[in-house]
Every structure is written in C-alpha cells, then in structure tokens.
Amino acid sequence: MPLPHRSRAKAVAVSSPLPHPQPQKKRDILEDEARFLRSWFERPLVTGAVTPSGRMLARTMASYVDPRLSGPVIELGPGTGPVTDALVRRGIAQERLVLVEYNPDFCKLLRRRFPKATVLQGDAYDIRATLEGVVAEPACATISSLPLFTKPLEQRLDLLSAAHDLMHPDAPFVQFTYAVVPPIPAKSTTYTASRSNKVWLNLPPARVWVYRRP
C-alpha cells in the first residue's frame, strides 16, 4: 500500500514467520501496566487510561468484527496492543491491521509485537489526513480505545463521520467507555448505536458502544 507523504504519520510493516503473536506473560502484562501508568502521568489527556484494556474487554470489542468481511481493520489508540491481540485471535490477519497510535514508545512496541501490521504514528482524531494513501479499500471495522470524553462533542462526531467514510456501509465503529453515558450520543438520524452489557471483569468496569451508518 502507498504511504502518506505527511511526515507525522510513519508506517512500518515487517515480515515475520510467526502467524500469531505469542501469549503475553505475566511479566509483560505488568510491564505494559507500568508503561501505561508512566504515559498517563506524562500526558493524561492523550493516554486517557492508567492501565491497558483487560482481556475480557478486548475480547468483547473484537467480537464485533467479522473476519469474513473484506478490507482492513483500523484500530485507533491501540496502546500496548491488548485489543490488537484479541483481533488476531478473532481471526484477523496481521496484514489487515492498520494501527494508529500517537505515543512513539507504544508504536515501537506494537511493531515488535505485530510485525506484519501497518503501524502509523499519527493523530487518530484526524484520520482523514493520517490514513491518506494508506487505506486503499473500504475498511470492515474501526476499533477505538481513544479517550473521547477529553475532546469536544463536535470533534467526536467528526471522528465518527470520518471513520464511517473509510468503511463499508453498516461496518462497525467500536468504542469502549468507563462512563455511564455513551461517548458519542446514541440518538442520531445519520447513524445507529447499540451497546454491550457492562464488562465487570475489566478494571474499572467498562461498556462497549457500536455505531453504524446504514
């Protein structure tokens, strides 16, 4: 795929003989939590969470992606990759993954853990520019772990609209939240919204919202 000419978005896709990432060891999980905590202290409005998504939450988010549909899977704010790992275990080939991450340290980690994926260091809230020239066909899903409540509603709605423009009709925009209210309003004339049950095994408990454009 051609790469964008903008300097702020850098893509890397490296071949590896391993078809799937290796299961995370307890030490790796603890190191990821330390990375998240350090990142949160340094840039709380960018990172948004003090720990990575738990395995059950990641699995719930990945469950909304149909591996049989064509096109890439766009992941916004993958962090250290727990949802990315769940997507691979769901049956999404690494080559189909387009990971947009702002934190350069997390990008290095993602490239090491998912060497066949396309990793972009760039602004996930401006995916029209960040993914320009990268996504050559409609995506089958967008998975977001962005801290949307740190942004104005207008910017959140623009992100959703841009994501839907990059996807197949009725493809899901999947977003989790710790809040009791939806991160993007549930009622709209331009999209539909549904929610999962609360994922109590996550810390803190979270819920997944799914937005589709008919």
Euclidean distance between the first and the last CA atom of the chain, given in angstroms as a whole number: 28
Q: Which residues contact 90 (CB under 8 A, 6 or more apart)?
A: 62, 63, 65, 67
Distances 98 to 43, 71, 87, 94 between C-alpha atoms, Å: 23, 11, 12, 9
* Domain residue limits, the chain: 25-213
The answer to whether 101 and 78 have CB atoms below 8 angstroms apart is yes
Select the more confidently predicted residue: 21 or 198: 198
State yes or no: pLDDT of 11 exceeds 50.
Answer: no
State yes or no: pLDDT of 37 exceeds 80.
Answer: no
CATH superfamily for 25-213 is Vaccinia Virus protein VP39 (3.40.50.150)
Distance of CA 118 to the CA centre of its chain: 13
Q: Which residue has the tokens 């850098």?
A: 10
The tens digit of pLDDT for each residue in 66-101 reads 999 999 999 999 999 999 999 999 999 999 999 999
pLDDT at 54: 85
Select the more confidently predicted residue: 4 or 102: 102
pLDDT at 202: 86
The tens digit of pLDDT for each residue in 97-152 reads 999 999 999 999 999 999 999 999 999 999 999 999 999 999 999 999 999 999 99
Sheet holding 173-177, edge to edge: 10-12, 118-121, 97-101, 73-76, 141-144, 173-177, 207-212, 192-195
Give me the sign of the Cα torsion angle 148, 150, 153, 159: negative
> Cα–Cα distance between 6 and 103 in angstroms, integer?
17
pTM of the full structure:
0.77
pLDDT at 26: 53
The tens digit of pLDDT for each residue in 157-191 reads 999 999 999 999 999 999 999 999 999 999 999 99
pLDDT at 140: 98
Q: Which two tokens stand for residue 181?
A: 């209210």
| Region for 103 from its dihedrals, namely left if φ exceeds 0, alpha if ψ lies in -120 to 50, beta otherwise | beta
Vertex 122, ends 116 and 125: CA angle to 5°? 115
The tens digit of pLDDT for each residue in 46-59 reads 444 444 568 899 99
**Other beta carbons within 10 Å of 191:** 18
State yes or no: pLDDT of 64 exceeds 80.
Answer: yes
pLDDT at 203: 83
3-state secondary structure of 121: strand
pLDDT at 164: 98
> Cα–Cα distance between 2 and 9 in angstroms, integer?
12
State yes or no: pLDDT of 7 exceeds 50.
Answer: no
